[in-house]
Structure 1
Amino acid sequence: MDWVTIIGFGAALCSTVSFMPQAWRIVKTRDTSSLSAPMYAINTIGFLLWLIYGLMQGQWPLILTNGICLVLAAFILMMTLASSKQKAKISDALE
């Protein structure tokens, strides 16, 4: 494996894993008051566009990484927009 591939895998891993602590914190605390819904909306759209781009190019690293990031960012956005009751219901189901 060459250095370019190793750096690409490292970047993909960091991008994907970076959302997991935030998503888990939301499930545990049910608190999204400090998060910006517009930022997560833009971020989610960005991941969707990268996923579409990857699909159009047939680039599996882009497809996998951005597909996973899209799911995690969309979950965080959904929880940010959800009511307290909805957050509790979702969090209870995931715990």
Structure 2
Amino acid sequence: MEFDWTTVIGTIGASASVASFTPQAWKIIRERSTKGLSLAMFALTCLSFASWTTFGALKGEWTLIIPNAICLVFALFIFGMIALPARKTREVAETLDPTE
């Protein structure tokens, strides 16, 4: 079996993309606030990941579908938290992390 650098690089990229949303989502939950985040930017991010997921599905490439679908879920969560009124954002965050 030959070593495949493209698989390694793709795996690193996919892992980094998925992991990149975790700190922002956790910060929203912990701080109970989305202050300073752009609704428009996350709308475009959601569109981007939805498009890549669809593209992967049309091509039948799970290496595109899985990480982009996971990123889409994170981006939709953040988008939803930004779009909610501040009171609702705090309620959702409290439900997800009641320790505060």
Asked if Structure 1 and Structure 2 have the same fold, meaning a TM-score greater than 0.5 normalized by the shorter chain, the answer is yes
| Cα distance in 2 for residues equivalent to 1:28 and 1:18 | 17
Tell me the C-alpha RMSD between the 2 structures. 0.8
Q: For 2:7, give the aligned amino acid.
A: T
Residues 32 and 94 in structure 2, CA contact (< 8 A), matched pair in contact too: no
* Contact 2:14-2:67 at 8 Å conserved across structures: yes
Contact 2:33 2:90 in 1 (8 A): no
State the number of aligned residues.
Answer: 95
Report how far residue 89 of structure 1 moved: 1.4
Whole-Å separation in 1 of the counterparts to 2:56 and 2:96 = 30
What residue in structure 2 maps to residue 66 of structure 1? 68
Identity of matched residues, %: 39
Larger Rg, first or second structure (1 or 2): 2
Q: What is the TM-score of this pair, normalised by structure 2?
A: 0.91
SS of residue matched to 1:18? helix
Counting only pairs closer than 5 Å after superposition, residues 3-14 of structure 1 correspond to structure 2 as 3-14=5-16
Task: Tell me which of 72, 87, 90 is aligned to 2:89.
Answer: 87
Provide the rounded CA distance (Å) in 2 between the counterparts of 1:53 and 1:72: 19
Q: Which runs of 5+ in 1 are unaligned?
A: none
Where do 4+ consecutive residues of structure 1 move more than 2 Å? Answer: none
